Structure 1
Amino acid sequence: MVSAAAIFALGSAAQEKPQPSQTVSWAPGYVGSCGGCNLAGKNLTGWTLTGANYELANLEFAFMRGVQAANTNFEGIQANGADMRGAILTTAKLSGSMLSNARLQAIQASGAEFKQSVLVGANLQGAMLVGANFAGANLQSTILEGVDMSGANLTGADLSGATLLASIFNGANLSRTRLDGADATGASFADVRFIDADLTGLEGWKAADFEGACATPLTLLPAGMKLPDCN
């Protein structure tokens, strides 16, 4: 016969057991909803999150190297200092996210959304960002060396002081983009329309490719640089 005390203990344990939504979020192959989860500093290396919802999650300083997260919703996440090197983020949604000083080297994020995100001091060296949307994003002092941003939308983005060595921006939208003090040595801006953009103090522009690029009367160019009128 089971005592009353034993029954009470079993009942308490059952009440304290985490719900499925709390436990499955820790499975390496978890795909589902973990919006608002606190995963700060956690090790998610190699996880498969494809198509999952991690909106508003806290991922600050999380280890996410090589995560499979194509088409995943990361909108509004706090991921300052996170390590996402080599992550697959193709068509992922990261608009409104905080990614300052994040390690994003060699991420695959073509078609991803980074609108209004903050990536100050982030390292995106060697990233594939073809057609990605960085409209209104803060990319000050980011490392964009060797990135491919062909066809990307950088309307109103701030790349002041960014390192753009050997990066590719062919056909990208750089309207109202700020490149003041960035280093564009070896970069390619073929066919870019610098509509009302700010290139004041752009370094290395003489060693960059501006074939087919154009500017407007309100575009600010570094001393000695001339571009044909887009009109």
Structure 2
Amino acid sequence: MGKLFVVGIGPGGLEHMTIKALDTIKESDIIVGYTKYLEFLQPLIKDKETVSTGMMGEEERCRKALELAKDKVVAVISTGDAGIYGMAGLILELREDEEVEIIPGVTASSSAGSVLGAPLMHDNCNISLSDLMTPYEDIKKRVRLAAEGDFIISLYNPKSKKRITYLREAIGTIKEFRPASTPVAVVKNALREGQSINIYTIENFDDSEVDMFSIVIVGNSKSFMKDGFFITPRGYKIDK
């Protein structure tokens, strides 16, 4: 009898994976994942059987993982957390009688937040700007409501070669509800090779460096910068 683990491998560096994720990958017979994500794990999986698909091959990948898991121990991997824009949902939708366990990981907003300081210290939400599976009208509505509710907003999949205006439009919407001084951070390749950080205000935001390896974090109305750190106060009464 096999088993399927759906593993969040975090931002990509092995040192940022959970111990449970590391142990699960070591104990699995077969590793299934997007080609680029398997590269992150090469030191762990060089002697293991792997199955890879390219971008947009998610359903094929999940069906293959479920098929293999009927008599083998299989790990299907996602970067970040498998249950946040990862493979967990699709696996469970397609599952019939296979045994499945979800192994959480560090999602992109947490990774980016850690290198920025403490931007996510109060109520916050994640919104993907990709319209591949979500109508753009729904995305715009969610951005507006989150902005109106004064949530800290982490924008996933912020800009692609085809979606060059969505991020600017989202920032324009959020700007209606935030002070001009509100910090906005762009973190590319958070906690892995090639990491870069750009800090703006919502007034002077520039999306020229943003791509699909970036995450954009927009502070709430009380967020501020201090000594290079992006901080959203939790509300503690601090004597100054």
Class of the TM-score when normalised by the shorter of the 2 chains = under 0.3
Higher relative contact order (CA 8 A, sep 6+): 2
Q: Which structure would you say has the larger Rg?
A: 1
Bigger fraction of residues in strand: 2
